[in-house]
């Protein structure tokens, strides 16, 4: 009985569909269907394009936009998040697989699925262990720097499709070098087509939205949605042109034969020797994908006073990636642009995602024959326009203005991502953020304080006119005491005592800003107590916080302390002054 009562919320937590599904009504269906139609139209060119970016056949992008959406609809806690292939994860997948040196396309497709499977298993495991907090190690500057640098890398990597040449590489220098070598073979018709599509897509973003709002009095949301499904017109137009003028015979690269229907479900087959090489990239794709997805979900949920469960999101994204791997797709996550479109188009529940999956299934079955003549330059132009909106170098300026430490983290992430690739870029950015945080907390602000005359306040002697006593030194430490600053604290106190010559009898540490004292700091306090005792100086503490005091009571420090623990700095000053004055 008890078990059943407890079990129900547990099931509802694991399957959020049980919550919203039970209350599903006709109004919800209306909103969801409209959103699904619009998102389907938007997703078709996007999923083909991102598959190209990941180095995969175009249809793999469609496969990755079907079952993952159904899985997310069952397990996800965001009502509007739209999952599927996204630019940054596609780039990371391509970069990871390039290192394996696979020879056939089918091996490459299988390896992409395996990578999605590993990422899915990692996400589910992190969800079960509630390890979503690991994503907190990615600071905003590192994410911003990484996204910007990835956007540049992706745009540059797609230039080869616009130019109609062969090029390769995964760092800025490699790609630019490779492009330079191929410049002799530029295909002029491809270039003209590519530039025309680019111009059209840029006009969609810049010009069309204004036009729709001013001339047709369209709402901003509506105009934004039309702009975002615009690329489908470029796709239709260039397919028609390519077919009518038989562009492939002029050397224009096209998507070519695409299998009709869906691939069979099943585990991807890959030589197990490649598995270890994929673990590192899988971890990184998992964390980056999760951070991107949760940020989008949280932003949109807050707009409707809804909330998401970050740990359940791990399970949901894990299920989506596993579903992708089992159905011939590759790594997926929640995407920003498509989720915003879904939201603006009126999606009310995750059923919109499941309906979008139905739309894409139709596309995979009935539309694929028409993709034969689609120029890859069209898809490349779609990618370039999409990722250039991610490039935001102003983060460098913002960070520089706000703090040098944050600037260092962005700068290192941007430069190393461009020059050495995405994995080293993010790794170095995270390491820099952590190192700078440790550095800052290892050099806490320490002030020698004295009494503000006629008050119970104690302030920095360097900034205020305060009363002091040569027999007494009070140091206020503005940081928790832990291993990285314990030794510095010892040095500072001994340094100050060294200046104090013979008169000094009491040292007081004012602990009002000390949120924690770890074992290293405790042992440093014991050492200082002992060393001061050898010099005939007593060590006191004042304003120790409750939780810190509780912990100190479990140690020997309070018994061994030569001085006292004062409730307030004022008590300490009054008593020690009266003791030292004759």
Give the integer Cα–Cα distance in Å for 484 and 442. 5
Nearer to a copy of itself, 3 or 501 (CB): 501
Q: Contact at 8 Å (CB) between 407 and 399?
A: yes
Q: For residue 469, which of 507, 510, 525, 513 has the smallest C-alpha distance?
A: 507
Q: Contact at 8 Å (CB) between 538 and 562?
A: yes
Minimum CB separation from a copy of itself for residue 495, in Å?
7
Using alpha carbons only, what angle is made at residue 243 by residues 242 and 248, rounded to the nearest 5 degrees?
60
Number of residues that bind a copy of itself (CB under 8 A): 67
How many CB atoms lie under 10 A from the CB of residue 530?
Answer: 12
Among residues 516, 550, 567, 579, the one that binds a copy of itself under rule CB under 8 A: 516
Q: Contact at 8 Å (CB) between 75 and 176?
A: no
Q: Does 399 bind a copy of itself (CB under 8 A)?
A: yes
Minimum CB separation from a copy of itself for residue 566, in Å?
19
Q: For residue 521, which of 431, 408, 411, 441 has the smallest C-alpha distance?
A: 441
Q: For residue 579, which of 255, 317, 571, 155 has the smallest C-alpha distance?
A: 571
Binding mask 424-443 for a copy of itself (x = CB under 8 A): ---------xx--xxxxxxx
Subset of 450-479 contacting a copy of itself (CB under 8 A): 478-479
Q: Does 390 bind a copy of itself (CB under 8 A)?
A: no
Minimum CB separation from a copy of itself for residue 531, in Å?
4
Give the integer Cα–Cα distance in Å for 308 and 297. 7
Give the integer Cα–Cα distance in Å for 53 and 68. 19
Minimum CB separation from a copy of itself for residue 521, in Å?
8
Structure tokens at 541: 């503490």
Subset of 229-258 contacting a copy of itself (CB under 8 A): none
Q: Does 518 bind a copy of itself (CB under 8 A)?
A: yes
Q: Which residues contact 85 (CB under 8 A, 6 or more apart)?
A: 46, 47, 50, 51, 54, 61, 64, 65, 329, 330, 331, 332, 335
> Which stretch, 133-141, 234-242, 345-353, 569-577, contacts a copy of itself (CB under 8 A)?
133-141
Give the integer Cα–Cα distance in Å for 251 and 237. 19
Minimum CB separation from a copy of itself for residue 556, in Å?
9
Q: How far is CA 487 from CA 448, 453, 494, in A?
A: 18, 33, 11
Give the integer Cα–Cα distance in Å for 530 and 439. 28
Among residues 107, 448, 490, 564, the one that binds a copy of itself under rule CB under 8 A: 490
Among residues 140, 459, 464, 575, the one that binds a copy of itself under rule CB under 8 A: 140
Subset of 277-336 contacting a copy of itself (CB under 8 A): 298-299, 302-303, 305, 307, 310
Minimum CB separation from a copy of itself for residue 459, in Å?
11
Q: Does 398 bind a copy of itself (CB under 8 A)?
A: yes
Binding mask 400-429 for a copy of itself (x = CB under 8 A): -xxx-xx-----------------------
Subset of 525-544 contacting a copy of itself (CB under 8 A): 527, 531, 534-535
Structure tokens at 223: 């105009």
Interacting residues with a copy of itself (CB under 8 A): 133, 135-142, 298-299, 302-303, 305, 307, 310, 398-399, 401-403, 405-406, 433-434, 437-445, 478-480, 482-488, 490-491, 494-495, 497-498, 513, 515-516, 518-520, 522-524, 527, 531, 534-535, 547, 551, 554-555
């Amino acid at each position: 009985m008890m078990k059943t009562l407890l079990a129900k919320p547990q099931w509802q937590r694991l399957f959020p569909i049980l919550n919203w599904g039970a209350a599903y009504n006709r109004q919800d269906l209306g909103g969801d269907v409209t959103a699904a139609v619009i998102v389907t139209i938007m997703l078709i060119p996007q999923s083909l394009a991102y598959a190209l970016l990941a180095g995969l056949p175009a249809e793999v992008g469609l496969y990755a936009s079907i079952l993952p959406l159904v899985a997310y609809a069952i397990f996800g806690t965001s009502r509007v998040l739209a999952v599927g292939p996204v630019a940054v994860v596609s780039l990371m997948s391509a970069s990871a697989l390039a290192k394996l040196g696979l020879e056939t396309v089918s091996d490459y497709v299988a390896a992409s699925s395996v990578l999605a499977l590993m990422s899915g298993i990692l996400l589910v495991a992190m969800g079960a262990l509630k390890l979503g907090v690991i994503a907190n190690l990615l600071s905003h500057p590192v994410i911003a720097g990484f996204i910007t640098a990835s956007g540049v890398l992706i745009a540059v990597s797609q230039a080869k499709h616009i130019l109609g040449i062969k090029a390769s590489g995964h760092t800025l220098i490699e790609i630019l070098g490779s492009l330079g070598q191929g410049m002799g073979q530029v295909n002029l018709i491809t270039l003209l087509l590519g530039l025309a599509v680019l111009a059209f897509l840029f006009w969609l973003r810049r010009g069309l939205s204004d036009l729709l709002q001013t001339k047709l009095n369209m709402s901003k949301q509506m105009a934004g949605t039309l702009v975002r499904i615009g690329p489908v017109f470029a796709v239709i137009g260039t397919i028609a042109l390519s077919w009518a003028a038989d562009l492939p015979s002029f050397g224009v690269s096209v998507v070519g034969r695409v299998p009709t229907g869906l691939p069979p479900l099943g585990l991807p087959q890959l030589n197990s020797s490649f598995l270890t090489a994929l673990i590192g990239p899988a971890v990184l794709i998992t964390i980056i994908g999760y951070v991107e997805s949760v940020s989008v979900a949280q932003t949109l949920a807050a707009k409707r006073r809804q909330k998401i469960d970050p740990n359940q999101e791990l399970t949901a994204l894990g299920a989506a990636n596993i579903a992708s791997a089992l159905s011939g797709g590759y790594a997926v996550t929640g995407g920003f642009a498509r989720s915003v479109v879904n939201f603006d188009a009126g999606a009310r529940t995750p059923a919109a995602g499941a309906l979008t999956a139905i739309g894409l299934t139709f596309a995979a079955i009935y539309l694929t024959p028409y993709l034969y003549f689609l120029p890859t330059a069209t898809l490349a132009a779609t990618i370039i326009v999409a990722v250039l909106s991610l490039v935001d170098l102003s983060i460098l300026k913002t960070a520089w203005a706000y703090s040098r430490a944050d600037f260092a983290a962005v700068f290192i992430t941007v430069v190393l991502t461009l020059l050495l690739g995405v994995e080293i870029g993010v790794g170095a950015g995270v390491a820099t953020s952590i190192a700078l945080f440790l550095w800052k907390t290892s050099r806490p602000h320490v002030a020698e304080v004295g009494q503000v005359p006629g008050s119970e306040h104690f302030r920095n002697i360097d900034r205020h006119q305060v009363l002091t006593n040569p027999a007494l030194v009070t140091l206020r430490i503005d940081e928790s005491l832990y291993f990285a600053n314990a030794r510095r604290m010892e040095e500072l106190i001994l340094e100050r005592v060294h200046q104090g010559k013979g008169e000094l009898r009491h040292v007081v540490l004012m602990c009002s800003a000390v949120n924690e004292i770890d074992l290293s700091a405790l042992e440093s306090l014991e050492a200082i107590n002992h060393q001061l005792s050898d010099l005939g100086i007593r060590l006191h503490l004042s304003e120790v916080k409750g939780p810190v005091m509780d912990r100190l009571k479990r140690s020997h420090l309070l018994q061994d302390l030569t001085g006292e623990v004062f409730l307030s700095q004022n008590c300490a000053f009054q008593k020690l002054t009266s003791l030292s004055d004759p």
